[in-house]
Amino acid sequence: MKAEGKTIPAVLFIHLAGFLFFASAFAINPLKITRAFFSDEAVYYTMAYSFAFDGDMEFERSDLVRVYQEFAAGPQGIILKLNHRDENIVFGKGYLYALVASPFVRVLGTNGFFALHALLLWLNLLCAYRFCLSFMQPRAAVLFSFFYFLANASLVYLFWMTPEYFSMSLVCYAFFFFLAAEQLQSKWKLFNSPYNYLISAFLFGIAAYSKPTNALLVVPLGIWMLYRKKLLPALFTLSVFILTAVALFGLNMYFTGEWNYQGGDRAVFYDRFPFERPGVSEFAPFKQKESIGSMRPPPFYMKAFLYNWLYFFFGRFSGLAIYLFPMFFALIYFLFSKKGKLSVPVYIAGGLGILTYMVGLPWNYFGGSGTIGNRYLLNAFPVLLFAIAAQPSRRILAGSIALSLVFPSAFLFTPVFSSFDVAFHQKRSLFRLLPAEKTLLVDLPTNNSLRARRVFFDRPANFFVYFLNDNTYYGEDFEQYSGFWVKGERTAELIMRSFQPVTRMKVRARSIAPVNDVTLTINGRATQIQLSGSVFHEMEVSLPGAFPYDRDGTGTSYLYDIKIHSRAGKITDLDGAGERFLGVFVRLELPEAQETKPESDDTSP
């Protein structure tokens, strides 16, 4: 581009984008929009204010009052833990993000979180641009930087008061500095050996404290240094990395009395909080609530393992190619493009980042029900950017940007609203074409609706139903039967969870319209049901291909995908429930299933 005969430097577009995001940080107030904290926001919000105004991470009555001053519902979802050394209550999460955010919060209040995130994004774009400029034209480098950090769901986390974007950015800066000596050919000392390696090691140490699994990302880089006989820089790099991580965990000991911020007597609070009720010991809630324990790994199922490869990349709620397409692009593009000096070890590091969650946490590799896409994978998201060493063609880059926006565009236009209702978009439009992750059943975002999860129709229950969309009115009674209404001209999608293997299911169905065609699909096998008259029709169908599921080692259950489509419907005020567009009432029964599964086996939120 030119202005008055002069060429505008391409980097100015990076600065313009960074400035716009920084300015937007002062124009939003998520708590006013959502009227609630989502995910783990409550603990980080309260902790940052505690650091900003009290200089500690002890939870006291003043912290509780401070939250109520801005948010009338209080710190719902806050995680606290007992500090047995000092006999006080501290925050049950890592302190680093809140500590870094605290100066911004001190000056700007709650908007300080978003000002910090905008600066992190600004630096991410600059790192990507400077790296890409070493093998791309300036405009292409700008465009690719925007593609990687703006055209995907990672941008949504810019509006979360949680450490996801912070941790992701640390990894980005760490890899940028590590590659600087080989890639940038800069005269600046900080971009040359050994200074770049020491800065990178320091950033990796911070990232490892923020998310311990990030330590694995360092391994291929260390092996590369040894292979290239950079023994002295490798020794200093390892020392800085270890000292940084140990120092940060040591500070955790100082603040909380424990090295491990995930351990100890922790509890989550939604309605009642310590210091809230006069005359009640602030420690009493910890005795009344079950502390947060570590997850027990479930048994290995080959079928679940194989399906996880599909779900991890193309799953409806977590798919890498759906929510973080630039990372998927880099994963594939690397295989067919020119390689740089460090491309292979960086690519291996990115692969380790993927396998850490897909293989290491197969029952919850994406971060739980309060997330958009794969929250955990954000830590490895920037890595594969630095494995690229060749400029993509204009067609490839343009097509990749278009593909990257197909699904995430729904979130990017409404990032705060979408964060509050993380299953809203997945229940609609193109998302319904994608497979729902059965291996993550009780952690899916649809479970945030109390009426949609663990629905049963008899007592004692011998199976549960999990509704995956809003095309039913959930569980209710009709003419002495317990079941659910499918909306007219809609398709209800649900997963049935049986606690023992079964081969058949009884279906009772009644249409609200005089004549109705109903399609019942079980694990991809469709059955047509013709309904007429004001009576229940009964039929028995086979249940093929049960999917084994055990979230936390408490026993195998068996899952079945079920879709029910009602071709007709009628608007009616049935049983005084208000006017609704009803299609068909359905009751499901499993004649072979008799035993009741204990209620404690399900860890849904």
Over residues 515-528, the pLDDT tens digits come to 999 999 999 999 99
DSSP string, 34-57: HSS--TTHHHHHHHHHHHHHHSS-
Question: Which band of pLDDT confidence, cut at 50, 70 and 90, is reported for residue 187?
Answer: confident
Find out whether 566 and 518 touch, Cβ atoms under 8 Å.
yes
Find out whether 441 and 53 touch, Cβ atoms under 8 Å.
no
Average pLDDT estimate for 211-224 = 95
Q: For 191-206, write each residue's pLDDT tens digit.
A: 998 999 999 999 999 9
Find out whether 379 and 213 touch, Cβ atoms under 8 Å.
yes
**584 closest CA partner among 491, 456, 496:** 491
pLDDT at residue 294 is higher than 60: no
Instruction: Give residue 287's pLDDT.
Output: 62
How many other C-beta atoms can be found within 10 angstroms of the C-beta atom of residue 10?
18
What is the 3-state composition of the chain as percent helix, strand, coil, each rounded to the nearest 5? Answer: 45, 15, 35
Question: Which band of pLDDT confidence, cut at 50, 70 and 90, is reported for residue 599?
Answer: very low
Residue 288, CA atoms < 13 Å, CB-side half-sphere: 10
Instruction: Give residue 296's pLDDT.
Output: 67
Instruction: Give residue 71's pLDDT.
Output: 87
Q: Which residues contact 494 (CB under 8 A, 6 or more apart)?
A: 465, 466, 467, 468, 472, 562, 563, 564
Average pLDDT estimate for 378-385 = 96
Average pLDDT estimate for 482-508 = 95
Residue 48, CA atoms < 13 Å, CB-side half-sphere: 28
pLDDT at residue 603 is higher than 80: no
pLDDT at residue 558 is higher than 80: yes
Find out whether 416 and 28 touch, Cβ atoms under 8 Å.
yes
Q: For 23-41, write each residue's pLDDT tens digit.
A: 988 888 877 777 778 888 9
| Look-up of token digits 């360092």 | 218
Instruction: Give residue 221's pLDDT.
Output: 96
Instruction: Give residue 414's pLDDT.
Output: 86
Instruction: Give residue 471's pLDDT.
Output: 96
Average pLDDT estimate for 160-168 = 95
pLDDT at residue 490 is higher than 70: yes
- Give the torsion through C-alpha atoms of 276, 600, 306, 503, to 10 deg: -140
Find out whether 549 and 304 touch, Cβ atoms under 8 Å.
yes
pLDDT at residue 290 is higher than 60: no
- Whole-angstrom distance, CA of residue 77 vs CA of residue 75: 6
| Look-up of token digits 């991809």 | 524
Q: For 114-152, write each residue's pLDDT tens digit.
A: 999 999 999 999 999 999 999 999 999 999 999 999 999
Q: For 302-358, write each residue's pLDDT tens digit.
A: 999 999 999 999 999 999 999 999 999 999 999 999 999 999 999 999 999 999 999
Question: Which band of pLDDT confidence, cut at 50, 70 and 90, is reported for residue 601?
Answer: very low
- Whole-angstrom distance, CA of residue 161 vs CA of residue 416: 11
Give the DSSP H or E segment for 484. Answer: strand 481-487
| The CATH fold of domain 449-599 | Jelly Rolls (2.60.120)
How many other C-beta atoms can be found within 10 angstroms of the C-beta atom of residue 225?
21
| Look-up of token digits 């079945």 | 560
- Percent share of the chain, pLDDT over 90: 73
**577 closest CA partner among 466, 474, 493:** 474
pLDDT at residue 9 is higher than 80: yes
Find out whether 474 and 446 touch, Cβ atoms under 8 Å.
no
Domain boundaries, the chain: 449-599
What are the phi and psi torsion angles at 463 (to 5°)? -160, 160
| Look-up of token digits 């971060």 | 367
Average pLDDT estimate for 420-445 = 92
**167 closest CA partner among 44, 278, 66:** 44
Q: Is the dihedral of CA 353, 385, 15, 188 positive or negative?
A: positive
Instruction: Give residue 596's pLDDT.
Output: 52
Question: Which band of pLDDT confidence, cut at 50, 70 and 90, is reported for residue 3?
Answer: very low
